[in-house]
Amino acid sequence: MGYARVSTRDQTVALQLDALNAADCVRAFEETASGAQRDRPQLAAALDYMRAGDTLVVWKLDRLARSTKQLIETVEDLARRGIGFRCLTQDIDTTTAGWCSPSSRRSRSSSVRSFRNAPARVWMRHGPGTVAPDGRLH
Protein backbone atom coordinates (compact mmCIF):
# COMPACT_ATOMS: atom_id res chain seq x y z
CA MET A 1 0.00 0.00 0.00
CA GLY A 2 1.25 3.45 -0.84
CA TYR A 3 0.56 6.81 0.73
CA ALA A 4 1.20 10.10 -1.09
CA ARG A 5 0.62 13.57 0.33
CA VAL A 6 1.09 17.12 -0.82
CA SER A 7 0.57 20.18 1.34
CA THR A 8 -1.32 22.49 -1.02
CA ARG A 9 -3.70 22.21 -3.93
CA ASP A 10 -1.06 23.87 -6.12
CA GLN A 11 1.14 20.80 -5.73
CA THR A 12 0.72 17.42 -7.38
CA VAL A 13 1.28 13.88 -6.13
CA ALA A 14 2.29 12.67 -9.62
CA LEU A 15 5.98 12.17 -8.80
CA GLN A 16 5.12 10.30 -5.61
CA LEU A 17 2.54 8.13 -7.37
CA ASP A 18 5.03 7.28 -10.12
CA ALA A 19 7.54 6.16 -7.47
CA LEU A 20 4.90 4.16 -5.59
CA ASN A 21 3.78 2.46 -8.81
CA ALA A 22 7.41 1.63 -9.66
CA ALA A 23 7.66 0.07 -6.16
CA ASP A 24 4.74 -2.23 -7.08
CA CYS A 25 2.18 -0.70 -4.73
CA VAL A 26 -1.18 -2.27 -5.56
CA ARG A 27 -3.07 0.66 -4.11
CA ALA A 28 -2.13 4.23 -3.22
CA PHE A 29 -3.97 6.56 -0.89
CA GLU A 30 -3.42 10.21 -1.73
CA GLU A 31 -4.36 13.46 -0.12
CA THR A 32 -3.79 17.16 0.04
CA ALA A 33 -3.18 18.15 3.65
CA SER A 34 -0.58 20.03 5.61
CA GLY A 35 1.84 17.78 7.44
CA ALA A 36 0.97 19.75 10.57
CA GLN A 37 -2.59 18.40 10.41
CA ARG A 38 -2.98 15.39 12.65
CA ASP A 39 -6.34 14.65 11.03
CA ARG A 40 -5.48 13.20 7.63
CA PRO A 41 -8.43 11.11 6.46
CA GLN A 42 -6.60 9.29 3.67
CA LEU A 43 -3.70 8.32 5.93
CA ALA A 44 -6.22 7.06 8.47
CA ALA A 45 -7.99 5.12 5.70
CA ALA A 46 -4.70 3.59 4.54
CA LEU A 47 -3.74 2.56 8.07
CA ASP A 48 -7.23 1.13 8.68
CA TYR A 49 -7.20 -0.78 5.36
CA MET A 50 -3.86 -2.47 6.01
CA ARG A 51 -3.54 -5.91 7.55
CA ALA A 52 -0.67 -7.96 8.99
CA GLY A 53 1.78 -8.80 6.21
CA ASP A 54 1.10 -5.58 4.27
CA THR A 55 3.72 -2.85 3.87
CA LEU A 56 3.09 0.89 3.95
CA VAL A 57 5.25 2.62 1.33
CA VAL A 58 5.95 6.36 1.24
CA TRP A 59 8.15 8.41 -1.05
CA LYS A 60 9.79 10.46 1.75
CA LEU A 61 9.56 10.37 5.54
CA ASP A 62 8.04 13.85 5.68
CA ARG A 63 5.07 12.63 3.65
CA LEU A 64 4.11 10.37 6.56
CA ALA A 65 5.00 12.41 9.64
CA ARG A 66 5.72 15.96 10.70
CA SER A 67 8.09 15.16 13.57
CA THR A 68 10.50 12.43 14.57
CA LYS A 69 8.19 11.53 17.46
CA GLN A 70 5.20 11.16 15.13
CA LEU A 71 7.28 9.09 12.70
CA ILE A 72 8.50 6.70 15.39
CA GLU A 73 5.00 6.33 16.88
CA THR A 74 3.53 5.52 13.46
CA VAL A 75 6.21 2.99 12.51
CA GLU A 76 6.01 1.35 15.94
CA ASP A 77 2.22 1.08 15.61
CA LEU A 78 2.65 -0.54 12.20
CA ALA A 79 5.16 -3.02 13.63
CA ARG A 80 2.80 -3.93 16.50
CA ARG A 81 0.15 -4.72 13.89
CA GLY A 82 2.57 -6.83 11.82
CA ILE A 83 2.72 -4.23 9.03
CA GLY A 84 6.00 -3.32 7.37
CA PHE A 85 7.18 0.17 6.47
CA ARG A 86 9.22 1.29 3.50
CA CYS A 87 10.50 4.74 2.55
CA LEU A 88 11.69 4.92 -1.04
CA THR A 89 14.04 7.91 -0.98
CA GLN A 90 15.63 7.25 2.39
CA ASP A 91 16.26 3.54 1.94
CA ILE A 92 14.27 2.34 4.94
CA ASP A 93 12.54 -1.01 4.74
CA THR A 94 11.43 -2.81 7.92
CA THR A 95 10.52 -5.93 5.93
CA THR A 96 14.08 -6.83 4.95
CA ALA A 97 16.30 -9.23 6.89
CA GLY A 98 19.05 -6.60 7.11
CA TRP A 99 16.78 -4.16 8.92
CA CYS A 100 18.37 -5.09 12.28
CA SER A 101 22.01 -5.14 11.14
CA PRO A 102 24.43 -2.57 12.62
CA SER A 103 25.03 -0.93 9.22
CA SER A 104 21.28 -0.69 8.66
CA ARG A 105 20.82 0.91 12.09
CA ARG A 106 23.43 3.54 11.19
CA SER A 107 21.67 4.20 7.89
CA ARG A 108 18.28 4.53 9.63
CA SER A 109 19.76 6.81 12.24
CA SER A 110 21.19 8.98 9.49
CA SER A 111 17.81 9.05 7.67
CA VAL A 112 15.92 10.05 10.81
CA ARG A 113 18.56 12.67 11.65
CA SER A 114 18.21 14.03 8.12
CA PHE A 115 14.41 14.11 8.54
CA ARG A 116 14.70 15.84 11.91
CA ASN A 117 17.22 18.43 10.68
CA ALA A 118 15.44 19.32 7.42
CA PRO A 119 13.90 22.56 8.81
CA ALA A 120 17.33 23.71 9.98
CA ARG A 121 18.78 23.11 6.51
CA VAL A 122 15.96 25.15 4.95
CA TRP A 123 16.60 27.95 7.43
CA MET A 124 20.31 27.91 6.64
CA ARG A 125 19.65 27.94 2.90
CA HIS A 126 16.85 30.52 2.85
CA GLY A 127 17.49 32.59 5.96
CA PRO A 128 15.62 33.50 9.13
CA GLY A 129 11.86 33.68 8.91
CA THR A 130 11.51 30.64 6.67
CA VAL A 131 11.33 28.14 9.53
CA ALA A 132 9.37 28.77 12.72
CA PRO A 133 10.80 27.54 16.05
CA ASP A 134 8.37 24.60 15.97
CA GLY A 135 9.86 23.47 12.64
CA ARG A 136 7.10 24.73 10.36
CA LEU A 137 8.21 26.23 7.07
CA HIS A 138 7.00 29.70 6.13
| Active-site residue list | 7
Going by their DSSP bridges, the two strands 84-87 and 92-93 should be labelled as: antiparallel
Q: How far apart are CA 59 and CA 56, in angstroms?
A: 10
